[in-house]
Amino acid sequence: MNILDRYHAMEYGPAPEARNEADAWLAARDFGKALFIDGGWKAASGGKTFDTSEPSSGKLLAKVSDASAADIDAAVAAATKALPKWSASSGYQRAKVLYAIGRAMQRHQRLFAVLESIDNGKPIRESRDIDVPLAIRHFIHHAGWAQALDKDFPGHKGVGVVGQIIPWNFPLLMLAWKIAPALAAGCTVVLKPAEFTPLTAILFAEICERAGVPKGVVNIVQGGPEAGAAIVNHPGIQKIAFTGSSEVGKIIRKATAGSGKKLSLELGGKSAFIVFEDADLDSAVEGLVDGIWFNQGQVCCAGSRLLVQEGIAEALIAKVKTRMSRLRVGSPLDKNTDIGPLVDPTQLDRVKGLVAEGAKQGAVCWQPDAALPATGYYHLPTLATGVSPANILAQEEVFGPVLATMTFRNTEEAIELANNTRYGLAASVWSENVNLALHVAPQLKAGVVWVNGTNMFDAACGFGGYRESGFGREGGREGMLEYLAAKLPLGPVIKPAVVSAQPVEQADGATIDRTAKLFIGGKQVRPDGNYSLAVATANGKLAGEVGFGNRKDIRDAVSAARACKGWPEATAYNRSQVLYYLAENLSGRAGEFATRLTELTGATPKAAREEVDQSIERLFLYAGLADKFEGRVHQPPARAVTLALHEPVGVVGIVAPDASPLLGLISLVAPALAMGNTVVAVPSERYPLLATDLYQVIEYSDVPAGAINIVTGRSAELAGVLAKHDDVDGLWVFADAETCAKAEAESIGNLKRVWSGNGRGLDWASDEAAGDAFLRRAVEVKNVWVPYGD
Ligand code: NAD
């Protein structure tokens, strides 16, 4: 045997990480008192516990206190008591506490990593080199935000007491993503880890004790769905931040509807890993290992769908198989291990079941010829080829080490396949042609896109999804905003519309009878039902009739809005010019609109003219801001730049208020348009003629067909149709409380972003009812990571 043969025959020896410190910590702790409330350790009031065990052996690690509803009450009470002092403390004081947490975590870095690997099963290389350092980076990064608040977020303050619920796949990292921005914003928290992985959160609470976190500022409770639901439904909480499955995310969206709680949801994904034929295949294979086999594929943004260009598919698959054969499956505490066990037998069964079903549906599932350890919940890395786009492995989040492969012929097909999912969390694009990659990235419906890379994260760069991957971002500026409330000028409570009797006094016959239609796809069209609604003047006379829009009309309007490509793809400068032109054409008819306002609402001529002038001014404002509310470039501590791009939300439904019927409508429609959204607007139910009078203004202003659609009718009913429509991406509702609550509850089909006034209007005439707070709701922030260097 020569040296080369000997070299190839060499086997890895075991390289176990020592676990004695972690075992000593486990032995010393009383897990029957594992609830960290008001700075002290409590047993669950009902005395219940749940088991947490080690995925690599199945052995019991601890019996942990299982919080009851009374314990959640106590935790919320502690957070509420601590709030005034904490939120009033200076940014510097809060920054010192965040920094102290980060430094204390650094001192116990190895213990955190070992405990995490023991409890979750993730390879120690990952917990040691990624989870824990990144968690620390979040605390240190957010110390800075605490001091930058006044300068960077004027007029904002912390939302208050926050309930946070996290999953088991990155227990410590998800905790850091949640707690660091909340503390920086001056909020106090009640956090619940997942029931499979309670341990590092307990160690973190010990760190809080030592780092000088004031009592009650951080409360950590343990338990499962029941404890989670008690947090979600608690009236003393002002914001819920949730990371977990889309299924539970929808339950939470429904449960919080109408409560006024701020909500962010970081949910599941089915992210595309797109390899073009000019990609560096060896790098792409390494990227793929990280993309799908990192943490056994139990990663929300796992690149679980490999889309490969036809010409290189065979070569790439061969390389992937060779690489898979070299992945080392074994103990999470062995430093050579690439793939550890899944977190729990239920998760293992789920993954096996999905693979079996995928095979039944035609996928060819391949696994390397490797032995599995004798104990533990292991699953071999699995490659599924011949996967049709409808196959369960292409559509469902497996949350395991399973890669589904499909091929594409050209760029358009790659984008179409990538977007063929209800999720929208992340995507990877591999090509040596950066022009192509940056052409594709904006067209992918995903909150994060990595160019020639994968799974890059940083505290300064927002992370979060589109569509059923949830809403809200974690990290950086956008992440801070999730814990801050902007001061908007509140208007009066909106009462439910009273369906009034038809006005009795008819028109005097002096003018030609005019019945306004609906405005859909750039044309005035009759309502589907062929019914009209009479509109009364302030004196109860008949002012005119408008179309009585129904479900079908909304569907047509949404289709027209979706089909309109000219608006979202127009340059910001182009959109700005059209908005200026709208203002110009409205100003040409200002007198006429003012007269109409007086006739309908009884406003004095002076007040009516003021509302029209302000409407024109607002159009002017958003025309000017269309090309100024831009994204940013982040410089994370990596050889990469991150482009935080502002993209339109998509099709936005708008239910406008009766108060200030022209100004209210324009204050909502103009920012949505400015950012490239297409709009389906339901104008004031009581004064719809102000919107129907706008049809001609729109027609003369070069607005592309379908960019603005207006459907008159009953606001509550049409809001419900918009809420349930799965092709509407965003919905802004200023209506009575019940309509707002229903719109939120009924939005769960596609988890559209709902902004509701919760039954309150705004003071539309105030300068504060315009600007960034509106534009922010009109965009999604997509973070595109572009590495550099050879
Ligand atoms: P899960 O939704 O089952 O549980 C998540 C958390 O919610 C747990 O703490 C659980 O106890 C709690 N919970 C369960 N039912 C609840 C209810 N009815 N009310 C309130 N709380 C409830 O998810 P999981 O299995 O723990 O985690 C896996 C999921 O998390 C995957 O879908 C994954 O994609 C997602 N995830 C998303 C991100 C992201 O940033 N987008 C990050 C990590 C994980």
Predicted TM-score of the model (pTM): 0.97
Nearest-angstrom CA–CA distance, 366 and 402: 10
Over pLDDT 90: what percentage of the chain? 95
CA pair distance 172, 421, nearest whole angstrom: 29
For residue 463, the ligand 1 atom closest to its alpha carbon is 40
Three-state SS at 347 = helix
Both tokens of residue 102? 């980060």
Strand residues in 537-665 grouped as ranges (E): 542-547, 632-634, 640-648, 651-655
Closest C-alpha to ligand 1, atom 13: 225
Residue nearest to atom 16 of ligand 1 (CA): 225
Residue 167 CA, ligand 1 centroid: distance in Å: 4
Contact yes or no for 56/376 (Cβ under 8 A): yes
In the reported structure, the alpha carbon of residue 246 is separated from the centroid of ligand 1 by a whole-number distance in angstroms of 8
Taking the C-alpha atoms of residue 544 and residue 507, their distance in angstroms, rounded to an integer, is 8
244 lines ligand 1 (CB under 6 A): yes
Q: 452 and 431 in contact (C-beta within 8 Å)?
A: yes
- At 122, list the tokens: 């993730």
Q: Report pLDDT for 55.
A: 98
Looking at the DSSP assignment, which residues form a beta bridge with residue 725?
none
Are the C-beta atoms of 180 and 152 separated by less than 8 Å?
Answer: no
Question: Which residue minimizes the CA distance to atom 43 of ligand 1?
Answer: 300
> What is the SS3 assignment for 616?
helix
What is the model's pLDDT at position 615? 98
Please say whether the beta carbons of 216 and 78 come within 8 A.
yes
CA atoms within a 13 Å half-sphere pointing along the CA-CB vector of 589: 17
List CB contacts of 437: < 8 A, sequence separation 6 or more. 429, 430, 431, 451, 452, 786
Q: Give rounded-to-5 percent helix, strand, coil for the chain.
A: 45, 20, 35
Q: How far is the CA of 598 from the centre of ligand 1 (A)?
A: 53
167 CB near ligand 1 (under 6 Å): yes
CA distance 754 to 537: 32
- Average pLDDT value for the chain: 96
Residue-wise pLDDT tens digits, 708-724: 999 999 999 999 999 99
pLDDT tens, residue by residue, 231-253: 999 999 999 999 999 999 999 99
Mutation pick for ligand 1 pocket among 232, 245, 267, 348 (CB with most ligand atoms within 8 Å): 245
Does residue 300 line the site of ligand 1, with CB under 6 A? yes
DSSP state, residue 768? G
Question: If you search the block for the tokens 């789920």, which residue do you land on?
Answer: 350
Does residue 267 have its Cβ closer than 6 Å to ligand 1? Answer: yes
H or E element that contains 434: helix 434-440
CA 368 – ligand 1 centroid, Å: 30
Per-residue model confidence (pLDDT) at position 5: 87
Residue 498 in this model has a pLDDT that exceeds 90: no
**Could you tell me the distance, in angstroms and rounded to a whole number, from the CA of residue 383 to the centre of ligand 1?**
26
Q: Is 397 in the pocket of ligand 1 (CB under 6 A)?
A: yes
Give, as one character, the DSSP assignment of residue 14: P
Q: Which ligand 1 atom is the nearest neighbour of the CA of 168?
A: 26
| Chain center to CA of 33 | 34
Name the token pair of 206: 């010990």
Indicate if 266 belongs to the active site: yes
The pLDDT, as a whole number, for residue 424 is 97
248 lines ligand 1 (CB under 6 A): yes
Token pair 């006429």 is found at 592
Question: Residue 506: is its pLDDT beyond 90?
Answer: no
The phi and psi torsions of 616 (rounded to 5 degrees) equal -65, -40
Q: 259: pLDDT confidence band, cut at 50, 70 and 90?
A: very high
Question: CA-based diameter of the chain, in Å?
Answer: 110
When pLDDT is cut at 50, 70 and 90, the band that residue 508 belongs to is low
Q: What would the mean pLDDT of 140-149 be, rounded to a whole number?
A: 98
User: What does the angle CA 576 – CA 578 – CA 583 come to, to the nearest 5 degrees?
Assistant: 95
Contact criterion met (CB below 8 Å) for 561 and 678 = yes
User: 479, 443, 439, 432: which is closest to 459 by C-alpha?
Assistant: 479
Residue 594 Cα to ligand 1 midpoint, Å, equals 53
666: CA distance to ligand 1 center in Å?
39
508: Cβ contacts below 8 Å, ≥ 6 apart: none
The pLDDT assigned to 510 comes to 54
Q: List pLDDT tens digits, range 651-703.
A: 999 999 999 999 999 999 999 999 999 999 999 999 999 999 999 999 999 99
In eight-state DSSP terms, residue 127 is I
pLDDT tens for each residue of 85-96:
999 999 999 999
Residue 773 CB contacts under 8 Å (≥ 6 apart), including other chains: 486, 488
Check if the beta carbon of residue 407 is closer than 8 Å to that of residue 385: no
Ligand 1 atom nearest 266 alpha carbon? 41
Atom 32 of ligand 1, residue of closest alpha carbon: 245
12, pLDDT greater than 90: no
Average pLDDT over residues 131-145: 98
- Say how far residue 30 (Cα) sits from the centre of its chain: 37
Q: Of the listed 300, 301, 564, 740, which one is catalytic?
A: 300
Examine the residue annotation and report whether 699 is marked as an active-site residue of this protein.
Answer: no
pLDDT of residue 507: 56
Residue 418's CB is within 10 A of a number of other CB atoms, namely 27
- 17, 116, 195, 266: which one is catalytic? 266
Q: What is the pLDDT of residue 553?
A: 98
Average of per-residue pLDDT across 377-392 = 98
Q: pLDDT tens digit string along 511-534? A: 566 789 999 999 999 999 999 999
Q: Residue 330: what pLDDT? A: 96
For residues 444 and 263, what is the distance between their CA atoms, to the nearest angstrom?
A: 25
Band of residue 501 on the pLDDT scale cut at 50, 70, 90: low
Instruction: Give me the mean pLDDT over the 388-396 stretch.
Output: 97
Whether 196 lines ligand 1, by a CB cut-off of 6 Å, is no
